[in-house]
Amino acid sequence: MSDLFWLSDAQMARLEPYFPKSHGKPRVDDRRVLSGIIFINRNGLRWRDAPKEYGPHKTLYNRWKRWSDKGIFAQMLAGLAAGHGEKTTVMIPSRDIT
């Protein structure tokens, strides 16, 4: 697949403050794994269909599961959203309300 997604240096720098501390053995490459998780979710793929460039699908799933259970991804999204001006909730109706 030539349309792989990779987080940029700037994107990684914004996400790093939310990474949990590594205990014991070091984690595998965060950029590779997070880029793979985003790719899988964005394209609606099964974990086992992850392109080999992102590493073993089990590694992607394990990181996603572990960090999801700990609320890491929710903290990332809340932190990134807090830095962008919108102070009100914007809602778009799903059907025409007349």
- As a whole number of angstroms, the distance between CA 16 and CA 76 comes to 9
Q: Which of the two residues, 3 and 91, has the higher pLDDT score?
A: 3
Q: What is the pTM of this model?
A: 0.79
Q: What tokens does 60 get?
A: 């992607």
Average of per-residue pLDDT across 23-46 = 93
Mean pLDDT estimate for the chain: 87
pLDDT at 36: 96
- As a whole number of angstroms, the distance between CA 93 and CA 76 comes to 27
Task: Give the model confidence (pLDDT) of 45-78 as tens digits.
Answer: 999 999 999 999 999 999 999 999 999 999 998 8
Is 7 strand, coil or helix?
coil
